[in-house]
A = this chain, B = another copy of it.
Amino acid sequence: MGKRKDKLTSNIGWSTSDTIRVRGLDLPNEILGHMNLGDVAFLQLTGRQATPEESKVFNAIVITLVEHGITPSAIAARMTYMGAPESLQAAVAAGLCGLGTVFVGSMEGASKMLYEALPQDKLGTGVDLDALAVETVAGFRARKAIVPGLGHPVHKPVDPRTPRLFEIAAENGKSGEYIALMQKIQTEAEARSGKMLPINATGAIGAICCEFGFPWKIVRGFGVMARAIGLVGHILEESENPISYDIWQRVEEEILETSGPGAR
């Protein structure tokens, strides 16, 4: 909560009877037909147009987050749609509500870890990344905390999204010290723990977000916008091939069996 202001301001956009501007660009004439949805997301968030290289990388990281199968978020959205099919927007909203610390937290956690280890004003000053990686992993181990962005229950020894995202970043000039540090942190964490700890997609994206210089607090927002797209797809499928009623009935019947009158 801030101090009182004289005047409310916003720099996102404005419109008059015949003009609509978003982030300084004329929506009908400079955006529509010229930009793709990912580029408009970049524009909306940063206030400037992505270069062709930035467009390639930014689109890739957001796209990675669109669809992750029948997640808890998708189940929540489908359950909500069953009860309120007239409110598709509320079903998407319900699905988004669960994108908190457990599922998208590791993405912002990875960005935060990398920025704390290597503040932006130290980039290009020849910091010893190996030493940083050792120190960072030691810090997490001392706090008995999990290193964010490492490990995956299914995708091992390699999360197939990670090498591809790093390749796209490298081809487009977005592979620098943050990605290198993330990779060294992985090597160190695997050595210390003796476990397979692939850099997962959230770790890769967290590192690439640092290459862009995005504030770590907004990194979660990329997951939220991407998943909104994914959830609309799930709701469309639910409307054509509903599964939530069956999931509900199975759960209810099992609970009645384990915890109802017969269980007493």
Q: Are A255 and B10 in contact (CB under 8 A)?
A: yes
Q: Are A261 and B19 in contact (CB under 8 A)?
A: yes
How far, in angstroms, from A260 to B8 measured CA to CA in the complex?
12
Residues of B near A161 (CB, < 8 A) are: 20, 27-28, 32
Report A25-83 residues with CB < 8 Å from chain B CB.
Answer: 27-29, 31-33, 35-41, 44-45, 55-56, 59-60, 62-64, 66-67, 69-73, 75-77, 79-83
Q: Which of A12, A164, A239 has the most CB of B within 10 A?
A: A12
How many A residues touch the partner, as a band? 35 or more
Q: Which of A32, A37, A163, A230 has the most CB of B within 10 A?
A: A37
Nearest-neighbour CB distance to chain B for A246, whole angstroms, equals: 5
Instruction: Tell me if A's interface is mostly helix, strand, loop or mixed.
Output: helix
Determine which of B66, B226, B259 lies in contact with A14 in the assembled complex, contact meaning CB atoms within 8 Å: B259
Residues of B near A258 (CB, < 8 A) are: 7-9
Q: A9-B243, A44-B66 are in contact. Are A91 and B97 (CB under 8 A)?
A: yes
Residues of B near A44 (CB, < 8 A) are: 66-67, 229-230, 232-233
Binding site for B on A (CB under 8 A): 1-2, 4-5, 7-22, 27-29, 31-33, 35-41, 44-45, 55-56, 59-60, 62-64, 66-67, 69-73, 75-77, 79-104, 154-156, 158, 160-161, 163-165, 167-168, 171, 215, 217-218, 220-226, 228-230, 232-237, 239, 241-249, 251-252, 254-256, 258-261
